[in-house]
Structure 1
Amino acid sequence: MAFPPETSNPETSESGRARVDPISAQPYFHRTESRIAVAGHPIHAMLVTFPIALTMCTLGADGFYWWTGDSFWARAALWASGMAFLFGLAAGLAGTVELLLVPGIRARAASWTHFILAVMLLSILGANWGYRLTGYEEAVLPWGLLLSALAAGFTAVTGWHGGKLVFDYQIGTSRNGKG
């Protein structure tokens, strides 16, 4: 491609040398297949559905408790928040191992953003569950409900970043369907 003398080539720097993307220049940049998988299905992707659903269930149960005053919903929120945290730990362990073992995942800044958001989300889920362990009915209003809303918001943002890694960069997928 020829450029007129008055127009600079976007592929070269001011010194005339070709610019190279430091990330894509890494030899393992395109190695992003899951290493923690069962029959080609990434375990992290399978596990994250549980804490996502349980976080939303916790928020829903808090809302129903606020609306009805029925202690069943406060108890359901206690269990949902605890299971969201525990399944989140399992999903986080699988995701962390993927991050550390797969060079193409480690090389991307977006992977680290998702990791940091996920760790922050786990701390919120743990705080929400721990707060409810002191007395699940008294914990719902107002702080339990606020922690649940914060956790739901963080889940949405963290999940969006994780989905972006999968759909835009094919992170943690398998090309051949075999583990």
Structure 2
Amino acid sequence: MLVPIPVVCFVGTLVTDIAYWYTANMQWANFSAWLLSVGSIVSGLAVVAGLIDFFGDRGIRRLRPAWIHAGGNAVALVLSIINIFVHSRDAYTSVVPTGLILSALVVLILLVTGWNGAALVHRYGVGVQSGERA
């Protein structure tokens, strides 16, 4: 239940970075910094829950999508934390080009990890009680 919050924050960061790139209105860069901060904080909570699932069940660790999901999300979180520092710069250099590139990379990684996370639930039944799986 924690995962949608950072996903929305990181996608929102890309949107606000693009808005800043087009308008040069500093408030868009501020929005990006806030979204990155909230997304990273909630990601930290999601990491704890994810690690409990990952290390708590040997069957999950045997699944390739679980490794892609966990590794990709770790990379996305590290890039987002780096992006917080990039967005702490002044004006134009806080977004263009490094912040924008990092935001786009994080969203691309989240697409891959989200696909693998969905596969874990829908294909392998991870986190689904046996009677609930269709």
TM-score after normalising by structure 1? 0.68
Pair 1:143-2:106 in alignment = no
Select 1:78's aligned residue among 8, 33, 42. Answer: 33
Higher relative contact order (CA 8 A, sep 6+): 1
Residue 92 in structure 1 maps to residue 41 in structure 2: no
Structure 1 unmatched ranges of 5 or more: 1-45
Which whole-Å deviations, capped at 9, do the CAs of 1:70-115 have from their partners, x for residues lacking one? 1110100000111111111211111011111123212323212211
Q: Distance in 2 between matches of 1:136 and 1:102?
A: 46
Which entry has the higher C-alpha Rg, 1 or 2? Answer: 1
C-alpha distance in structure 1 between counterparts of 2:89 and 2:125, whole Å: 42
8 Å CA contact 2:2–2:42 kept in 1: the answer is yes
Task: Give, in angstroms, the shift of residue 134 of structure 1.
Answer: 3.4
Q: Secondary structure at the match of 2:123?
A: helix
1:108 to 51, 63, 70: 63
Q: CA RMSD in A?
A: 1.6
Aligned equivalents of 1:62, 1:121: Cα separation in 2 = 17
Shift of 1:176: 5.9
Q: 1:174 corresponds to which residue?
A: 129
Amino acid at match of 2:3: V
Shift, 1:135, TM fit: 3.2
Note if contact 2:24-2:92 (Cα within 8 Å) is conserved in structure 1: no
Partners of 1:78 and 1:136 within 8 A in 2? no
Q: Cα–Cα, structure 1 residues 92 and 136, in superposed 2: closer, same or farther, change >3 Å?
A: farther
> What letter matches 1:150 in structure 2?
L
Q: Is residue 75–residue 136 contact of structure 1 (8 Å, CA) maintained in 2?
A: no
Identity %: 30
**Count of residues paired in the alignment:** 132
Give the Å deviation of 1:47.
0.7
Unaligned runs of 5+ in 2: none
TM-score normalised per structure 2? 0.90
Which structure has greater helix proportion?
2
Write out aligned runs for 1:15-164 (5 A): 46-135=1-90, 137-164=92-119
Larger displacement relative to structure 2 (108-117 or 94-103): 108-117
